[in-house]
A and B are shown apart, each in its own frame.
Chain A
Amino acid sequence: MIVRILGEGQYSVPEGEREMLERLDSDIVDAVDNEDEEAFTKALDALTVAVRRVGQAVADDTFEPSALVVPFADSTLEETKGLLAEADDSSGSDDR
């Protein structure tokens, strides 16, 4: 599957790693829910590092839609909340 880190690029990640990434993702969700900036930074860092570690950078001349999108690697909690709020606004047309 293709995973994009915003502002960075795409990585091709083996399907078997999805569960591991989603576990890391849930740490981010918790940090956002608890408004815990420190935990957020740590969790986001863990996720981006994991994507880069298990994934292979997609060549510049390959363009495929991404299955998962990771926030900007240096995002703040506030910024990510803003992005997610946007996601909630637009999810009406995108729910499946």
Chain B
Amino acid sequence: MSVMKRLSGIVQAKTNKLLDKAEDPRESLDLSYQKQLESLQKVRRSVADVTTAKKRIELQASQLQGQADKLQQQAKAALTQGNEDLAREALARRAALADQLTDLRSQHQQVAAQEQKLIDTAQKLQTQVDAFRTKKETMKATYTAAEAQTKIGEAVSGISESMSDAGMSMQRAQDKIDGMQARAGAMDELLASGALTDLSNPVDDIQAQLDKASTTSTVDAELAALKAEVGSGAPPAAELGTAGGEGSAS
């Protein structure tokens, strides 16, 4: 059976339902307009939510990038110290971060696309709501005129059909928004799960090794300096120790 006829059936059924329920279609029109305004507000809130999610991803990406840069420098520092193993470790972690950054960037693209969709939906809805505001006044005036002319039956079913269409359009917009919100919510949870936070520790333990190495080399240098100073005016420490050993042994 033809799509147009089947749809005509459903619109008619919705219209009949509307007619059974409504005492005065003018009130239903105002109510419907109110509902549309609420939908519009909901979309605007969704836009704000998605924008927040997007910013959070951006922040996380820049943090990751910072960590990656730091690891790069640490690898260099480790090489300078001659510690190739540590440099390798730092670079390996940097590679893991690069993978995560790639993931984050693709998430960012998805969220940005979602944001754009929501913004488009909000704009579309705004146009629709504005148009409806004008139209509902026309509908109300037509209804009032028809009422006066006792031609009310036909005008009412025509108006009600328009209202059914408006209702279906709104429901459709709402369904789309709900879908987008659900996806934005899932993204938020993913970000809030904090899979990335434990990365700060490994970075720090590389730093600790580097610091330790540099402390060690400072100590070595100081020690060498001390040895040189001591060696110039006195017998070598080893000999002193040996002498002392002999003394305690006898």
Q: How would you classify the secondary structure of chain B's contact residues: helix, strand, loop or mixed? A: helix
B165 at the interface (CB under 8 A from A): yes
B172 to chain A, nearest CB (A): 7
B6 at the interface (CB under 8 A from A): yes
Q: Is the CB of A4 within 8 A of B138?
A: no
Closest to A32 in B: B3
> Which residues from B are CB-within-8-Å of A61?
138, 141-142
**Of A6, A22, A62, which is within 8 A of B165 by CB?**
A6
A76 to B7, CA, bound (A): 15
> Which residues from A are CB-within-8-Å of B134?
60
Interface 9-residue window, one of B10-18, B51-59, B100-108, B196-204 = B10-18
Chain A 16-47 residues near chain B, CB threshold 8 A: 21-22, 25-26, 28-29, 32
Give the residue among B8, B154, B169 with the most A Cβ atoms within 10 A: B8
Q: Is the CB of B12 within 8 A of A65?
A: yes
Q: Is the CB of B2 within 8 A of A63?
A: no
A84 to B2, CA, bound (A): 10
B168 at the interface (CB under 8 A from A): yes
Q: Is the CB of B138 within 8 A of A60?
A: yes
> Which residues from A are CB-within-8-Å of B159?
63
Q: Is the CB of A94 within 8 A of B142?
A: no
CB-CB under 8 A for A69 and B158, given A26-B2, A84-B6, A91-B6 = no
B5 at the interface (CB under 8 A from A): yes
Q: A60-B134, A62-B142 are in contact. List 8 more A-B contacts (CB 8 A).
A: A7-B168, A7-B169, A29-B1, A65-B161, A67-B8, A68-B5, A68-B7, A79-B172
